[in-house]
């Protein structure tokens, strides 16, 4: 799994010359929210550890609806906030909802890659490996819920009619996991970016320069088996193509606990976690998993599978996102937030507008 190290961004290519580099200095920075908004800096406690929460809310008209944002693997909290702050300011001003970034436990590591889970997988103990990594996904999800409960207990917010969740990379997996675990308040809508439900984020823990060990569709174990479903049977047809895998070890058909009309997934055609290639021609697995994840059936040739209500998925065409020296996976979040792409259906402005409307009504 490539870590998202926003603090170490390389110089952008010419087409991205106008995109400012995030401030690489760690720790709190002086910040003045725009007129009409106030800064939220607080923390929650989980397993005896304090985790930060930072966000924005309107000064008046409250209490406000809540959108919770989760960053990706390796994004330090303050860097993650300041990377997103312009998009958050615009969304709060336009819709009047509050938006907060919640740090989750062990954000530096992807849940699938615990040493014990990898070791069990390596010796063929799929049940043992599944149990270990799924427990870690749930642990992190419960941490997110502790943060949500803390924010919902503030006077700024009214969560009684539900909340919305948005995530990037590992954060996207966690918003899906959280939607399964959290019943009060309910999760009304989900926005996932740069994420597809792949076991081991696409590789089996034995990554090398040739890409050996990668698990991509139609491999029977490509689809993730942890907490992202409510259907224990009927695996996707492609996942039954390897007869050597026991039937009870197939991953289930995907179905999240938020109705598909309230889910939007955005990803680059060349952004497939640990996909060993960014070859524009090698994008079929991206479309396959977006179909499974979204519940909508569009062909590989149709990048825009957003429905009339805005739900569905959008696969950004190959070549549209490029920052020299950076994987497309890491570059996606920069492009998603950059003013260069305002007007694109997959840009933050459009995505956050859809999320707020889907969760709380236009």
- Give the list of residues 6+ apart from residue 25 with CB closer than 8 angstroms, or none: none
Judge whether 96 lies within some domain: yes
Judge whether 33 lies within some domain: yes
Judge whether 1 lies within some domain: no
Judge whether 220 lies within some domain: yes
The per-residue pLDDT for 323 is 86
Cα 125–126–128 angle (5° rounding)? 70
The per-residue pLDDT for 57 is 98
The per-residue pLDDT for 87 is 97
pLDDT band for 28, please (50, 70, 90 cuts): low
- For residue 46, what are the β-bridge partners? 49
Number of domains comprising the chain: 1
**pLDDT(209) > 60:** no
Q: What is the largest CA-CA distance in the chain?
A: 62
The per-residue pLDDT for 147 is 98
The per-residue pLDDT for 254 is 66
How much is the average pLDDT of 71-76? 96
Higher pLDDT, 172 or 324: 172
CATH number of the domain residue 12 falls in: 3.40.50.1820
Cα 180–229–70 angle (5° rounding)? 50
d(CA 162, CA 39): 22
Judge whether 136 lies within some domain: yes
Report the candidate in 91, 169, 131 with the shortest Cα–Cα distance to residue 333.
Answer: 169
Q: What is the pLDDT of residues 40-60, one digit of tens each?
A: 999 999 999 999 999 999 999
pLDDT band for 238, please (50, 70, 90 cuts): low
Higher pLDDT, 295 or 23: 295
Domain range enclosing 102: 6-360
Query: Phi/psi zone of residue 15: left (φ > 0), alpha (ψ -120 to 50 degrees), beta?
Result: alpha
**pLDDT(273) > 70:** no
Judge whether 233 lies within some domain: yes
**pLDDT(170) > 50:** yes
Query: What is the average pLDDT score of the chain?
Result: 84
- For residue 193, what are the β-bridge partners? 168, 266
Judge whether 88 lies within some domain: yes
The per-residue pLDDT for 18 is 41
The per-residue pLDDT for 198 is 86
**pLDDT(239) > 60:** yes
Residue 180 to residues 9, 256, 259, 274, 322: CA-CA distances in angstroms?
A: 34, 7, 12, 25, 34
**Which two tokens mark 81?**
């906030």
Phi, psi of 335 (to 5 degrees): -65, -40
Beta 49-58 vs 37-46: how paired, if at all? antiparallel
The per-residue pLDDT for 36 is 97
**Among 181-185, 297-301, 347-351, whose mean pLDDT is lowest?**
297-301
- Give yes or no for a contact between 110 and 1, defined as CB atoms under 8 angstroms apart: yes
**Among 35-44, 77-86, 311-320, whose mean pLDDT is lowest?**
311-320
Q: What is the pLDDT of residues 320-362, one digit of tens each?
A: 988 888 888 899 999 999 999 999 999 999 999 999 999 999 6
How much is the average pLDDT of 107-135? 91
Higher pLDDT, 8 or 122: 122
Half-sphere exposure of 258 (CA within 13 A, CB side): 33
**pLDDT(214) > 80:** no
Judge whether 318 lies within some domain: yes
């Amino acid at each position: 799994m490539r870590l998202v190290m926003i603090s170490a961004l390389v110089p952008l290519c010419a087409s991205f010359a106008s995109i400012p580099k995030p401030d690489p200095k760690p720790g709190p920075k002086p910040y003045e929210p725009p007129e009409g908004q106030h800064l939220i800096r607080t923390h929650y406690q989980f397993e005896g550890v304090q985790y930060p929460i930072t966000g924005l809310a309107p000064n008046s008209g409250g209490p406000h609806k809540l959108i919770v944002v989760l960053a990706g693997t390796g994004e330090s909290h303050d860097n993650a906030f300041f990377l997103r702050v312009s998009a958050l300011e615009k969304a709060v001003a336009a819709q009047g909802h509050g938006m907060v970034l919640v740090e989750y436990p062990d954000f530096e590591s992807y849940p699938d890659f615990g040493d014990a889970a990898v070791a069990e997988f390596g010796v063929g103990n799929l049940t043992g490996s599944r149990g270990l990594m799924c427990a870690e996904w749930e642990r992190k999800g419960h941490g997110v819920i502790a943060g949500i409960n803390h924010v919902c207990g503030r006077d700024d917010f009214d969560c009684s009619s539900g909340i919305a969740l948005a995530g990037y990379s590992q954060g996207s997996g966690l918003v899906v996991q959280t939607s399964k675990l959290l019943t009060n308040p309910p999760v009304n809508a989900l926005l996932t970016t740069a994420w597809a439900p792949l076991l081991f984020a696409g590789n089996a823990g034995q990554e090398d320069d040739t890409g050996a060990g990668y698990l991509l569709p139609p491999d029977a174990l490509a689809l993730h088996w942890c907490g992202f479903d409510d259907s224990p049977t009927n695996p996707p047809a492609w996942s039954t193509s390897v007869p050597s895998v026991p039937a009870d070890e197939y991953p289930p058909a995907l179905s999240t606990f938020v109705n598909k009309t309230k889910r939007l997934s955005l990803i680059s055609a060349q952004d497939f976690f640990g996909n060993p290639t960014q070859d524009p021609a090698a994008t079929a697995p991206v479309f396959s998993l977006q179909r499974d994840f979204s519940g909508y059936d569009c062909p590989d040739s149709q990048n825009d599978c957003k429905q009339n209500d805005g739900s569905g998925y959008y696969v950004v065409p190959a070549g549209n996102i490029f920052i020299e020296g950076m994987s497309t996976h890491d570059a996606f979040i920069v492009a998603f937030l950059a003013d260069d792409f305002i007007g694109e259906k997959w840009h933050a402005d459009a995505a956050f507008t859809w999320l707020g409307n889907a969760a709380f009504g236009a």
